Structure 1
């Protein structure tokens, strides 16, 4: 999920990027295609929970904050999946880990559809999230080392498919009705299974990396501070992403839009995230990661403020999707340059980003209970302003590193 920010030049003493040893490809062509389908599925799964909230509340008699726990349980499982895959990466065969992740995601999705009560549904969402996290981090890691100089381009292609899935999820709910969400989740579970046959095309053990010795790295204290603020930025911006995706339909219905229109607007939000990731690639050739993320956070904040105006809300949410899109992929290479000695920094920020999704559902639900659903965009705007402040701090802190 990375781009090529080139405006900020590395110092002359900086080390070149790691290189792979060994000529055997990590993926066959079929396995690459199957991986892209896998990312369509994890994008769709994340986006299915929000449009299903009205039906979940009616079926199980839930409050807004309790209904939001479905997406939170998914993200808790996602964090566990990221950390588990990172721990086993290079020790357990890639095929076994990916196969387990696909099976967990399929089992969890089917269990969520068929659960007779809310506690079992939350357990199933956790299992689905566990598989989600394993696939998300695992395929990103393998694509990062598996294509040599083409890895960045392949990562962009892979993660664009996540956006495609996030667009399709709400659109499917809108087409069949939220009350039929179990059928969508069961169909989703079944589509996972053929991907297991394509894992034969994945190299079972990753290529070895050779990383030149770093000649200049930040001091330990500065490194911890930089990592802490990066973790904060990732957790908060994904909280906004999940908050909009999960509660935009409810907010739009509250301010007067129909259920179909609200679900369609949510699909447009995810569409703009996909478009934004394509658009940022040529922009990143001329502007630094810091500049792109600063503009993204500022634009996101303005759009969230505009979303509080009922007549502008659907269009403002689309703007949020456009501006939030570059933050995740553009921040990863910036993190790599800023913290070259932090081997697990990528896993750390990906896990943190999922923790932001864990908190978004119940936090926004509590705000709705205390005030009104109309307050959601204003709360998210405050969180976005915090992301902007974190970006400004990181820009200053990493200027010399």
Structure 2
């Protein structure tokens, strides 16, 4: 009875953070950031033709998006608590809208990259901002709620490539404009988001600087969490950005390759919905270990042309829980570094920044068939990092069970 009362109290506290329309709008916001990120990969053939780009040059669009994302995360974290949540989220949505339209209508490649950068700024603000608000607003249910929130990212990532596949890569500007307009419309329900913490005290950004005496153990834990996030986001973005190119190179048609990318994002979405109830029974380390092992096996299988579309779908299923499930684990395992969440989310985007040009360079040096092999190496390192973190956090007070 006491447990049920405590959970009810926490749920009541969570309700004060968002009105019901604002919760729905937050999920729609994640649909939009998923859609905008996923559009770059299927649009690469048209971008290369329109602007005369090499594979690595075209990959810079995704890199610019993630560079903006890193900046957006750090800026939101710095302003969090000093400026109201509504204003921060509103600026982020406005940047997504302006950047998306600029990318779609840019007359040359430098301006297109600038548009992708501005879109990324808004992306980073929404990604970090809503993750932060959901993580602090739902108590023990945070892992489940974060998986549900991030599952909507996958819904958007399904819709984006599907639209490009249906309309044709040359119609990418129209798709970007539509999603930019939708981002602007999300300014309307922001009145249902609470501007300050329930207790009225300072938000984490004003008091989250790590103490000067952070131990070597804490620094090591944080460093390995950063590595895990950098590499697994690199795999996620690498598959989303280069799966169509790889599948076309091994004999699949353009429409099928774009549709297969949508299936990848579909499996990522289903994985997050499916794992939400499991987070109430399984420890975060166990879930992430299974995820890393599964995505490693699937990427190895993707080297085989006949298995590649199905293997990429498996990657989406297994990689799904890592990002949202790792955040509560990080919060408990590294309590001395209270800005750790912002750091790993920002650092994880480095994987997205690097994925485009690194894989593009691998294609230029070897061939497109090397894409799944390169990503397999990254996934294997993620598995090793998870194994190390599981052993290291067993001795941390309050660390996850298991």
TM-score normalized with structure 2 length: 0.90
Q: Distance in 2 between matches of 1:95 and 1:345?
A: 23
Q: What corresponds to 1:352 in structure 2? A: 347
**Does residue 65 of structure 1 match 2:56?**
yes
**Does residue 143 of structure 1 match 2:138?**
no
Q: Could you say if the C-alpha distance between residues 128 and 122 of structure 1 is closer, same or farther in structure 2, counting changes exceeding 3 Å?
A: same
**Does residue 99 of structure 1 match 2:90?**
yes
Q: What corresponds to 1:13 in structure 2? A: none
Q: Distance in 2 between matches of 1:321 and 1:157?
A: 15
Q: Could you say if the C-alpha distance between residues 156 and 326 of structure 1 is closer, same or farther in structure 2, counting changes exceeding 3 Å?
A: closer
Aligned length: 379
Report the secondary structure of 1:90's partner residue. Answer: coil
RMSD, aligned α-carbons: 2.2
Moved more, 116-125 or 331-340: 331-340
Q: What corresponds to 1:33 in structure 2? A: 24
1:300–1:319 Cα contact (<8 Å) kept: yes
Moved more, 283-292 or 258-267: 283-292
Q: Select which of 345, 363, 368 maps to 1:368.
A: 363
Q: CA deviation at 1:24?
A: 8.0
Q: Distance in 1 between matches of 2:363 and 2:14?
A: 55
Higher relative contact order (CA 8 A, sep 6+): 1
Moved more, 362-371 or 337-346: 337-346
Q: Deviations over 1:29-60 (max 9, x none)?
A: 11111111111100101100000000000000
Q: What corresponds to 1:14 in structure 2? A: none
TM-score normalized with structure 1 length: 0.90
Q: Could you say if the C-alpha distance between residues 366 and 95 of structure 1 is closer, same or farther in structure 2, counting changes exceeding 3 Å?
A: same
Q: CA deviation at 1:169?
A: 0.6
1:25–1:147 Cα contact (<8 Å) kept: no
Q: Could you say if the C-alpha distance between residues 200 and 282 of structure 1 is closer, same or farther in structure 2, counting changes exceeding 3 Å?
A: closer
Q: CA deviation at 1:156?
A: 3.0
2:147–2:325 Cα contact (<8 Å) kept: no
Q: What corresponds to 1:253 in structure 2? A: 248
Q: What corresponds to 1:5 in structure 2? A: none
**Does residue 400 of structure 1 match 2:391?**
no
Moved more, 49-58 or 322-331: 322-331
Q: Could you say if the C-alpha distance between residues 318 and 337 of structure 1 is closer, same or farther in structure 2, counting changes exceeding 3 Å?
A: same
1:21–1:210 Cα contact (<8 Å) kept: no
Q: Distance in 1 between matches of 2:75 and 2:195?
A: 17
Unaligned runs of 5+ in 1: 1-18, 212-217
**Does residue 194 of structure 1 match 2:200?**
no
Q: Distance in 1 between matches of 2:126 and 2:202?
A: 25
Q: What corresponds to 2:400 in structure 1? A: none
Any residues of structure 2 matched to 1:309-320 within 5 Å, and which?
Answer: 309-320=304-315
Q: What corresponds to 2:376 in structure 1? A: 381
1:47–1:245 Cα contact (<8 Å) kept: yes
Q: What corresponds to 2:153 in structure 1? A: 162
Q: What corresponds to 1:79 in structure 2? A: 70
Q: What corresponds to 2:334 in structure 1? A: 339
**Does residue 56 of structure 1 match 2:51?**
no
Q: What corresponds to 2:322 in structure 1? A: 327
Q: Deviations over 1:227-275 (max 9, x none)?
A: 0000000000000000000000000000000001000000000011111
Q: What corresponds to 1:42 in structure 2? A: 33
Q: Distance in 1 between matches of 2:315 and 2:247?
A: 15
Q: What corresponds to 1:110 in structure 2? A: 101
2:144–2:280 Cα contact (<8 Å) kept: no
Q: Select which of 288, 303, 322 maps to 2:298.
A: 303
